[in-house]
Amino acid sequence: MTTVLNSSTLIAEGGVAFGTSGARGLVVDFTPDVCAAFTHAFIAVQRRAGAFTRMALAIDNRPSSPAMAQACAAAMLQAGIEPVYYGVVPTPALAYQAMQDKMPCIMVTGSHIPFDRNGLKFYRPEGEITKADEQAILTADVEFAALSALPQLQARPEAAFAYCQRYSSLFPADLLAGKRIGVYEHSSAGRDLYAPLLRQLGAEVIALERSDEFVPIDTEAVGEEDKAKARRWSAEHRLDAIFSTDGDGDRPLVADEQGEWLRGDILGLLCADALGIEAVAIPVSCNTAVSLSGRFAKVALTKIGSPYVIAEFAELAKTYQRIAGFEANGGFLLGSDIELAGKPLAALPTRDAVLPFLMLLAAAGKGAISPLVTALPQRFTHSDRIKDFPTARSQAILADAKNDPQSLLVKLGFTHSRVSCVDTTDGLRITLEDGRILHLRPSGNAPELRCYAEAAVATLAQQSVEQALSAIRALV
């Protein structure tokens, strides 16, 4: 006898929840039936906008991702939808291909979070889903049969090819001539694409540290080990730049000629400027150098997470022609179709890692990257997080602090600092009278408490983060 399941019930009881971008949870909670429940719910929500018969699907290099993709594909087949499987590719490659084919898609990835967790990202034919779509998926009431068998999936090459073609056709073939670029491959979903693309544009490429085990690179909180690696690689191989990404290839990690990793929002600022962008949407956690630079007619601040950045595009598009967004983690979102040196570049309203790197190198020309950074207003940011920190505990700390932010500063050891203003757009962002900024928020993707700091001196920003997190650990 076939067991009939209900999507909203399974999702509510399954331990998987939407974070800043996509549904995330422990691998053990992503059972085949839970994956099927999310897929059936997504299909039902998309059918409200119109009929479709095909859906694209891809994965990252996590050990759990292939089986999750099979479960999603099984649910598609149950719903009369043909799964179009592209194998291991970067999330923006899948999203771009699906947009060209005008079909929805699902990316199986946990992005940068540890390998014992995973996730699902959902895309409409026009791009990433909204927060309203997320709620519709959670409440969709779809009945389906429990999965009894999982289909075998054969990967197609079109998404990888189209993604690389998007950029190889945009730039001259000698764009990177004379450049030595290191590609930190680790377990990135795009590791097989980046070196050939860069070589096609004229670079000499040195492949660095490919891993057979999944490596959870967090581009927003680069570890000391990775900082030391970059400096060593840069000196050893005489590199002009190092390129890497997070696990699913939508967040860039870029180092200059000295092996110093660039903050993602600084990379985004330089990319948007090189593209001639008029207006940008950025999360409130981004470096204030974006506004202070004076390079954009409008800088709109949002909550943290690409859906909020994308939602702001509609408002910006009422006034501006060339719009984009980027995040402190480096993900760059092109919000409008533009031309670059007479060549068209289609909008890609999801995080992308390749475009900001190539635009940085194009802006540098024959010169180095670091002068582009030093020409910006000198505001420095640092961030880190406490792992395995229950979200409820983070929320309790912030709830108390919103009522009395000065008291929180004292508890964190900032005894001689006074609160200038407070921003609660996302978490608690305190500007001090000396110009420093301290920002605390629970991660939307994992049980972590994140801390961001900004100051006029890099060491002061780092010290502020370390002091705050150390004090919080002591408090709890």
Specify the CATH number for the domain of residue 301.
3.40.120.10
CATH number at residue 418: 3.30.310.50
* pLDDT tens-digit map of 113-144: 888 999 999 999 999 999 999 999 999 999 99
Q: What share of the chain is helix, strand, coil (3-state, %, to 5)?
A: 35, 25, 40
Of the three residues 158, 190, 215, the one that is the final residue of a domain is 158
In 53-90, which residue ranges form alpha helices assigned H by DSSP? 65-78
pLDDT in tens, the chain (476 residues): 679 999 999 999 988 999 877 999 999 999 999 999 999 999 999 999 999 999 999 999 999 999 999 999 999 999 999 999 999 999 999 999 999 999 999 999 998 888 899 999 999 999 999 999 999 999 999 999 999 999 999 999 999 999 999 999 999 999 999 999 999 999 999 999 999 999 999 999 999 999 988 888 888 778 888 999 999 999 999 999 999 999 999 999 999 999 999 999 999 999 999 999 999 999 999 999 999 999 999 999 999 888 899 999 999 999 999 999 999 888 999 999 999 999 999 999 999 999 999 999 999 999 999 999 999 999 998 888 898 898 889 999 999 888 899 999 999 999 888 999 999 999 999 999 999 999 999 887 678 899 999 999 999 999 999 999 999 998 87
- Same-domain check for residues 140 and 213: no
Residue 109 in any domain: the answer is: yes
Q: Residues 204, 210, 213, CA angle at the centre, nearest 5°?
A: 165
Q: Which residues pair with 453 in a beta bridge?
A: 382, 438
State if pTM tops 0.85: yes
- Same-domain check for residues 332 and 406: no
Using CB atoms within 10 Å of the CB of residue 157, give its burial: 0 to 12 exposed, 13 to 18 middle, 19+ buried: exposed
Residue 100 in any domain: the answer is: yes
pLDDT at 445: 67
- Same-domain check for residues 368 and 411: no
Please provide residue 334's backbone torsions phi and psi, each rounded to the nearest 5 degrees: -90, 115
How far is it, in rounded angstroms, from Cα 302 to Cα 427? 12
- Same-domain check for residues 328 and 394: no
Question: Is the distance from CB of 306 to CB of 444 less than 8 angstroms?
Answer: no
How far is it, in rounded angstroms, from Cα 371 to Cα 292? 18
* pLDDT tens-digit map of 253-269: 999 999 999 999 999 99
At 2, list the tokens.
């076939």
Of the three residues 158, 180, 208, the one that is the final residue of a domain is 158
Residue 314 in any domain: the answer is: yes
The DSSP code for 297 is: S
pLDDT at 1: 61
- Same-domain check for residues 349 and 443: no
Using CB atoms within 10 Å of the CB of residue 96, give its burial: 0 to 12 exposed, 13 to 18 middle, 19+ buried: buried
- Same-domain check for residues 243 and 297: yes
Q: Position 228: which residue type?
A: A
Catalytic residue, candidates 111, 187, 336, 464:
111
- Same-domain check for residues 264 and 140: no
Residue 271 in any domain: the answer is: yes
Count up the domains in the chain and report the number.
3
How far is it, in rounded angstroms, from Cα 364 to Cα 176? 10
The helices-and-strands tally (H runs, E runs) of the chain is: 16, 25
- Same-domain check for residues 292 and 408: no
Contact partners, residue 354, CB within 8 Å, separation at least 6: 90, 92, 163, 167, 190, 194, 197, 252
- Same-domain check for residues 177 and 137: no
- Same-domain check for residues 368 and 386: no
At 441, list the tokens.
């928020």
Of the three residues 349, 374, 399, the one that is the final residue of a domain is 374
Domain that holds residue 439: 380-475
- Same-domain check for residues 405 and 455: yes
* pLDDT tens-digit map of 74-99: 999 999 999 999 999 999 999 999 99
* Strand 338-340 with 419-423, pairing: unpaired
Residue 163 in any domain: the answer is: no
* Strand 298-302 with 348-352, pairing: unpaired
111 tagged catalytic:
yes
Residue 414 in any domain: the answer is: yes
- Same-domain check for residues 216 and 142: no
Residue 164 in any domain: the answer is: no
Residue 141 in any domain: the answer is: yes
383-404 core/surface letters (b: 16 or more CB in 10 A; e: else): bbbbeebeeeebeebbeebeee
